[in-house]
Structure 1
């Protein structure tokens, strides 16, 4: 039997420009592209405000989860890319822990020199198992 895949996008300009989906479901696994801080029209939010960018990025991650009927407890892995990691580590650690609550997915956090948008300070991707109890 062949697994079916489903793609999801927000309809923001860079999806077609770059040629990607916000998420792809392959069987019971959901692969979520790195989320960033933007509103529903694609306008960037929080230039210079790391905490606001993280909170908005996690809200966008929740939007993807909701589209697929998934919950945070089904996240099995996060990948967190952070500019100025030494300066922002305590904040990203606190907000990631609060987002996950008692659930503990695997996670990789990496300091990077640059991200896709000039003012972007954080990007968070995830892998989700839809067959896990929500």
Structure 2
């Protein structure tokens, strides 16, 4: 369950985000990745590097206001940061030891969705291909 639940959370995230119409879906996801980039600021354990990382993800988020690719890059950066925190022992949720590992598994799922352009997955839920539903929007 340690490995399956984060994947399911990533898929659920993409499904819920699919309820938001473009271009608001992209802009909202840019804000989400910016927030994720600051998640470790209050106790991540990497000192000043936490600020540098937050600045890098904030840049990706800013560029992500107009580009799904940058949002995907931001989530991939966060994946790497999660792995470092899991190895060092400073989890994203202090009382949940493997929370950074879970985040590192979930984030690439979200990143792949973003790198595909954040398509609406509601067509899949309704039994249609994603491309067919995207044409309806």
Normalized per residue, the structure richer in strand is 1
Normalized per residue, the structure richer in helix is 2
- Return the TM-score normalized by structure 1: 0.30
- Return the TM-score normalized by structure 2: 0.30
Task: Determine which structure has more spread, i.e. the larger CA radius of gyration.
Answer: 2
